[in-house]
Amino acid sequence: MSKFISKKYASLIPYEPGEQPQDQQYVKLNTNESPFPPSAKAIVKANEALKKLQLYPDPDCKVLIEKIALHFGVSRKNVVLSNGSDEVLNFAFMAYCDEDCPAIFPDITYGFYPVFSDINRIPYKEIPLKDDFTIDIADYMNVDGTIFIANPNAHTGITLPVNAIEEIVKSNPDHVVVIDEAYVDFGAETCLPLAEKYDNVLVIQTLSKSRSMAGARLGFAIGNEELIQDLNTIRNSTNPYNINAMSMAAAIGVMDDEAYTEANCQTIIENRAYTVNALKEMGFELTDSIANFIFMKHPRVDGEYIYKTMKERGVLIRHFTKERIAQYNRVTIGSRKQMEKFIKVLGEILEEA
């Protein structure tokens, strides 16, 4: 760190993304990407956009916003786009939290939430999940702060039913409730109807997972018009061109190919069932994940040992050191071939252990 850094940031501990080795030597199941390439329509559109890169992209993102609005049955005034959903999550922390209005989220959830709080100098409160990693909605009734719920939750994949979230929303009419639905497309129920019904609900989704666009960095929020205006004020005060022309074009292509997205999600759901069955037979304990990953621990074999040994043998999964989940590993659901390799290597490790 230089001696010039502002004291605002001197003690900031940045978010640590999962490993991204660039040499493709691993079966890569560590950052919840899709194993499938982007839609062919996305590739055609992105190629066309390449030829016009001398121009700035449309700051209003008109075509893409219209496509997303149409897909979700909302008005385009209810949608804002961002550079990955991480960006609009950060906008939500900036817009709806401050020293008088802390951020509130579970102790086990997306690791970026505390970092967004810290960089914006927002106090935050982490509410412990129950022993089975579910949320007790009583903990979120009538709280004094902005609530962030990843649903399904990161890293457990457990989802809270929409009617339970509605109870939380109703009991906090003076605070925004942000529902991070990065993993909603693999069998969970969306809270979008709540965003239409209540003025304090913001639903955030991403094209990174179900739509195979992690590299394009495209996320969006849907909420009532005033909330979207708030987020646009922040977007336009930081980078009105936050969506680059190639990603925007690719996303337009992907939104035109819902059949491809649905088929890929269905395959992930099937591969998840296959993986869960195999893991249960091997004695693993699993949370009830309906995301594109599973969260597993073995009653006898150490979580970190499994992670490290898998890596040595060419399979990359995700291990977190936080004490409460240190025995667990999070494993992205990939193609059937990837999952077969994962199960095979894991079986060998268990036999030796």
Taking the mean position of all CA atoms in its chain, how far away is CA 65? 20
Please state the closest distance from residue 176 (CB atom) to ligand PMP, in A.
16
The single-letter code of the amino acid at 156 is: T
Please state the closest distance from residue 206 (CB atom) to ligand PMP, in A.
3
Would you say 2 or 321 has its CB closer to ligand PMP? 321
Please state the closest distance from residue 85 (CB atom) to ligand PMP, in A.
3
Sign of dihedral through CA atoms 92, 98, 100, 102?
positive
Among 34-42, 83-91, 93-101, 186-194, the segment contacting ligand PMP (CB under 6 A)? 83-91
Which H helix or E strand runs over 196? helix 192-197
Contacts 24+ apart (CB under 8 A), 324-329: 324/107, 324/108, 325/108, 325/155, 325/295, 327/297, 327/298, 327/302, 327/303, 328/155, 328/295, 328/296, 328/297, 328/303, 329/295, 329/296, 329/297, 329/303
Would you say 85 or 271 has its CB closer to ligand PMP? 85
Q: How far is Cα 246 from Cα 51, in angstroms, rounded to an integer?
A: 10
The yes or no reply on residue 57 touching ligand PMP (CB under 6 A) is: no
The yes or no reply on residue 34 touching ligand PMP (CB under 6 A) is: no
Among 78-86, 228-236, 263-271, 308-316, the segment contacting ligand PMP (CB under 6 A)? 78-86
How many residues bind ligand PMP (CB under 6 A)? The answer is: 12
Please state the closest distance from residue 218 (CB atom) to ligand PMP, in A.
7
The closest of 104, 156, 117 to 297, measured between CA atoms, is: 156
Please state the closest distance from residue 250 (CB atom) to ligand PMP, in A.
14
Residues 175-214 that bind ligand PMP (CB under 6 A): 180, 182, 206, 208, 214
Please state the closest distance from residue 150 (CB atom) to ligand PMP, in A.
4
Report the residue number whose CB is nearest to ligand PMP: 84
- The answer to whether residues 123 and 99 touch, using CB atoms and an 8 Å cutoff, is yes
Would you say 301 or 334 has its CB closer to ligand PMP? 334
The yes or no reply on residue 86 touching ligand PMP (CB under 6 A) is: yes
The yes or no reply on residue 140 touching ligand PMP (CB under 6 A) is: no
The single-letter code of the amino acid at 334 is: G
Would you say 127 or 278 has its CB closer to ligand PMP? 127
The closest of 326, 333, 283 to 307, measured between CA atoms, is: 326
Judged by CB under 6 A, which of 110, 284, 320, 342 binds ligand PMP? 110
Q: How far is Cα 59 from Cα 232, in angstroms, rounded to an integer?
A: 11
The closest of 100, 209, 226 to 150, measured between CA atoms, is: 209
Among 35-43, 81-89, 195-203, 228-236, the segment contacting ligand PMP (CB under 6 A)? 81-89
Please state the closest distance from residue 214 (CB atom) to ligand PMP, in A.
5
Would you say 272 or 298 has its CB closer to ligand PMP? 272
Length of the chain: 353
- The answer to whether residues 236 and 94 touch, using CB atoms and an 8 Å cutoff, is no
The yes or no reply on residue 84 touching ligand PMP (CB under 6 A) is: yes
* Dihedral angle over CA of 167, 173, 177, 179, nearest 10: 50
Residues in touch with ligand PMP (CB under 6 A) = 84-86, 110, 150, 154, 180, 182, 206, 208, 214, 219
